[in-house]
């Protein structure tokens, strides 16, 4: 009996309101007076003292977010309860519970003055005179959003978007499940909008299906951000799925071709991207957009990417886009002809830029940076790749290629990659089967020009060219590596294994620099030596004073083979024209405005 009273008194220790303390003590004095009655009766030889009743615990405690600092806590009524005590603890686990209100008479309580973007758990216990206080019932953790001081709204998306819809900047949108924008519908997203993937619905993603469009047109000051639902400091790769665009472009595979990572369950139906007929198809606009902590594996070797462009056409606009800490590829292009400019990939769990299945897009001004092996959220069916590359391009792999020989499947994979800055993990993380600056294989061609590849590791090369079994794309004028600077690599071209004997096939006739000792600190204006807590502003990708990247670019494409010259010249579609430059790397040294500044992010957690 004394223990019951002691427990109730202890639960009031955190009460700072003197009025509430007095009221509580008054109730306790009344409780002692009531409990004294049966003691006297028992002394007279009547009924013995009955033990105090044990109140049941509330059957459930639910928490609903109201705004960035406010939640509603609700619970089920307990028979016989007079009041309820509400307590809270910060964090998904651990922490110390503090009393919010020791004596609530109803079954709900609004709690405010919480921390933005923090995680909380709430507990509720029941009390009544003459009864033992119930065991507390604890809610599931709830994460508060960010937002301005007026308090952002939260909207959860649980079903397909079948009609035109706008996501507004004053609202945080939660993708709860595998959300599809259906054919004929357009999803417009205002600058500054944040979209998160539901952490508890694993793999939550956004699919822009064939015939649908996304109009995500942000600004440098107000980028559109797709990210983890978890608070800063707890985010990890694989927290959610990713952003997937499916167009009507052409691929070099036949039959029904399913997007990797789909078809894992009824809620995640198979999505297909085969049989496209229009490489000029338009899936919308992605401008000043970030995708963070994505890449959920729905099964072994079945991962979603940060950005997936499946048969996406050149009518689509993609520029100023960043992938950060994705568990699988940062940017994956399956066929199609979408063009991009100003891409940034930070810390990928697999390849930074992956192009295959007949992709013919043109891409200029690309940054890829790796310094760690990402650590994914726990309990996944897959983890970081064992053979990640900065660039990995393929012709076609598998029995459904549109040719009996994989390397000759048409259309050929012949993209243009110009002005890229690729900084690998080097000895920090040197995966056994990967770590190359570029892996070009299975009959892929393309133009790779005016770039820099550095820090690929002590045993790796800048370029690993694997053609099976010949060098057809080069002899046909569909492949050139030109004016690429490499440093901190074991070789410019890999040798041995399946690699083509490059000297015999003329690939070294291109102006590819020999290995240089200059590290990334000498190449770029500012790359922090320790990136653990580095701010985005500490990265300056412009060439350093005296950097070899200031010169050496191919400034005239007229000498290129006619097919590649035609690819570089572009057409009327967005971002299609590749501009020749006298410098190498992703940044024009003459520019006074940093094109990546303000809207990009570098975060480890």
Q: Where are the domains of the chain?
A: 2-143, 155-359
Tokens of 77: 């009524």
Average pLDDT score over the chain: 86
> What pLDDT, on a 0 to 100 scale, did the predictor assign at position 539?
87
Residue of higher predicted confidence among 159 and 537:
159
DSSP β-bridge partners for residue 484:
512
> What pLDDT, on a 0 to 100 scale, did the predictor assign at position 427?
64
> What pLDDT, on a 0 to 100 scale, did the predictor assign at position 493?
85
Each as own residue / partner, the long-range contacts of residues 161-169 (CB below 8 Å, 24 or more positions apart, any chain) are: 161/185, 161/187, 164/188, 166/190, 167/193, 167/195, 168/193, 169/193, 169/222
> What pLDDT, on a 0 to 100 scale, did the predictor assign at position 4?
40
Task: Compute CA distances 493 → 25, 393, 420, 485, 501, whole Å.
Answer: 81, 16, 17, 12, 10
> What pLDDT, on a 0 to 100 scale, did the predictor assign at position 152?
56
Q: What's 171-183 look like in SS3?
A: EEEEECCEEEECC
| Region 2-143: CATH code | 2.60.40.10
> What pLDDT, on a 0 to 100 scale, did the predictor assign at position 500?
60
Residue-wise pLDDT for 61-109, tens only, equals 999 887 778 888 999 999 999 999 999 999 888 889 999 999 999 998 9
> What pLDDT, on a 0 to 100 scale, did the predictor assign at position 466?
83
Spatial distance between the Cα atoms of 84 and 56, rounded to a whole number of angstroms: 12
Whether the model clears a pTM of 0.85, i.e. scores above it, the answer is no
| 279 pLDDT more than 90 | yes
> What pLDDT, on a 0 to 100 scale, did the predictor assign at position 326?
96
Residue of higher predicted confidence among 457 and 344:
344
> What pLDDT, on a 0 to 100 scale, did the predictor assign at position 34?
40
Q: Which residues contact 165 (CB under 8 A, 6 or more apart)?
A: 185, 186, 187, 188
> Highest-confidence range of 160-169, 383-392, 536-545, by mean pLDDT?
160-169
Mean pLDDT of the region 156-176: 95
Q: How confident is the model at residue 44 (pLDDT cuts 50, 70, 90)?
A: very low
Q: Position of tokens 């024209």?
A: 577
Q: Position of tokens 């940017």?
A: 331
The full DSSP string for 364-430 is EEEEEE--S---PPTT-S--S-SS--SEEE-S--STTBSSSSGGG-SS----EEEEEEEE--GGGS-
Q: How confident is the model at residue 419 (pLDDT cuts 50, 70, 90)?
A: very high
Residue of higher predicted confidence among 538 and 312:
312
Mean pLDDT of the region 548-558: 94
Q: How confident is the model at residue 148 (pLDDT cuts 50, 70, 90)?
A: very low
> What pLDDT, on a 0 to 100 scale, did the predictor assign at position 36?
41
| 533 pLDDT more than 70 | no
| 157 pLDDT more than 80 | yes
Mean pLDDT of the region 435-453: 92
> What pLDDT, on a 0 to 100 scale, did the predictor assign at position 397?
80
CA angle (247, 201, 155) in 5-degree steps: 80
> What pLDDT, on a 0 to 100 scale, did the predictor assign at position 460?
84
| 430 pLDDT more than 90 | no
> What pLDDT, on a 0 to 100 scale, did the predictor assign at position 11?
41
Q: How confident is the model at residue 145 (pLDDT cuts 50, 70, 90)?
A: confident
DSSP β-bridge partners for residue 224:
289
> What pLDDT, on a 0 to 100 scale, did the predictor assign at position 70?
83
Residue-wise pLDDT for 223-255, tens only, equals 999 999 999 989 999 999 999 999 999 999 999
| 146 pLDDT more than 50 | yes
Q: Which of 146-150, 231-235, 552-556 has the lowest mean pLDDT?
A: 146-150
Q: How confident is the model at residue 3 (pLDDT cuts 50, 70, 90)?
A: very low
Helix (H) or strand (E) holding 456: strand 452-466
Mean pLDDT of the region 183-193: 97
> What pLDDT, on a 0 to 100 scale, did the predictor assign at position 386?
81
> What pLDDT, on a 0 to 100 scale, did the predictor assign at position 49?
59
Residue of higher predicted confidence among 504 and 14:
504
> What pLDDT, on a 0 to 100 scale, did the predictor assign at position 372?
87
Contact 460, 435 (CB under 8 A): yes
> What pLDDT, on a 0 to 100 scale, did the predictor assign at position 43?
41
Spatial distance between the Cα atoms of 271 and 260, rounded to a whole number of angstroms: 9
Residue-wise pLDDT for 482-501, tens only, equals 999 998 888 888 876 656 65
> What pLDDT, on a 0 to 100 scale, did the predictor assign at position 470?
67
């Amino acid at each position: 009996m004394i223990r019951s009273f002691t427990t109730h008194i202890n639960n009031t220790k955190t009460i700072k309101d003197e009025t509430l303390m007095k009221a509580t003590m008054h109730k306790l004095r009344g409780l002692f007076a009531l409990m004294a009655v049966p003691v006297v009766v028992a002394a007279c030889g009547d009924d013995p003292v009955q033990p105090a009743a044990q109140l049941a615990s509330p059957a459930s405690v639910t928490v609903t977010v109201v705004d960035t600092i406010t939640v509603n806590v609700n619970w089920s009524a307990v028979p016989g309860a007079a009041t309820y005590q509400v307590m809270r603890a910060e964090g998904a686990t651990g922490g110390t519970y503090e009393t919010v209100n020791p004596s609530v008479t109803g079954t709900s309580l609004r709690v405010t003055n919480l921390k933005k973007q923090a995680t909380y758990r709430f507990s509720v216990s029941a009390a009544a005179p003459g009864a033992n206080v119930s065991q507390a019932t604890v809610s599931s953790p709830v994460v508060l959003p960010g937002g301005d001081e007026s308090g952002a709204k939260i909207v959860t998306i649980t079903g397909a978007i079948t009609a035109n819809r706008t996501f507004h900047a004053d609202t945080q949108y939660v993708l709860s499940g595998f959300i599809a924008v259906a054919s004929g519908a357009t999803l417009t997203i205002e600058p500054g909008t944040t979209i998160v993937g539901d952490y508890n619905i694993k793999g939550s993603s956004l699919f822009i299906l064939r015939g649908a469009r996304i109009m995500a047109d942000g600004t440098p000051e107000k980028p559109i951000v797709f990210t983890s639902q978890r608070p800063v400091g707890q985010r990890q790769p694989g927290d959610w799925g990713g952003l997937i665009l499916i167009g009507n472009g052409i691929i070099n595979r036949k039959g029904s071709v399913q997007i990797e990572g789909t078809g894992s369950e009824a809620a995640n139906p198979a999505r297909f991207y085969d049989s496209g007929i229009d490489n000029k198809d338009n899936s919308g606009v992605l401008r000043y957009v970030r995708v963070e902590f994505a890449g959920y594996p729905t099964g072994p070797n079945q991962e979603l990417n940060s950005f997936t462009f499946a048969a996406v056409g050149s009518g689509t606009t993609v520029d100023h886009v960043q992938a950060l800490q994705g568990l699988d590829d940062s940017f994956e292009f399956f066929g199609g002809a979408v063009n991009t400019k100003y891409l940034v990939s930070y810390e990928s769990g697999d390849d930074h830029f992956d192009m295959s299945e007949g992709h013919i897009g043109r891409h200029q001004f690309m940054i890829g940076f790796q310094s760690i092996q990402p650590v994914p959220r726990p309990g996944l069916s897959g983890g970081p790749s064992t053979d990640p590359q900065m660039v990995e391009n393929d012709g076609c792999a598998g029995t459904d290629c549109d040719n009996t020989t994989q390397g000759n499947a048409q259309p050929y994979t012949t993209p243009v990659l110009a002005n890229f800055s690729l900084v690998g993990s080097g000895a920090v993380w040197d995966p056994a089967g990967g770590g190359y600056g570029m892996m070009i294989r299975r009959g892929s061609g393309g133009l790779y020009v005016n770039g820099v590849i550095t820090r690929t590791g002590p045993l790796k090369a800048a370029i690993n060219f694997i053609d099976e079994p010949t060098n057809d794309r080069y002899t046909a004028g569909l492949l050139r590596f030109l004016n690429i600077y490499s440093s901190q690599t074991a070789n410019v071209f890999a040798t041995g294994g399946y690699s083509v004997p490059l000297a015999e096939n003329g690939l070294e006739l291109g102006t590819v620099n020999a290995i240089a000792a200059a590290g990334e600190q000498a190449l770029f204006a500012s790359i922090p030596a320790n990136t653990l807590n580095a701010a985005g502003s500490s990265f300056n990708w412009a060439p350093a004073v005296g950097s070899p990247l200031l010169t050496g670019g191919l400034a005239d494409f007229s000498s290129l083979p006619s097919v590649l010259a035609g690819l570089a010249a572009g057409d009327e579609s967005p971002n299609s024209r590749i501009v020749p430059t006298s410098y190498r790397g992703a940044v024009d040294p003459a520019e006074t405005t940093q094109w990546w500044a303000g809207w990009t992010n570098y975060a480890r957690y």
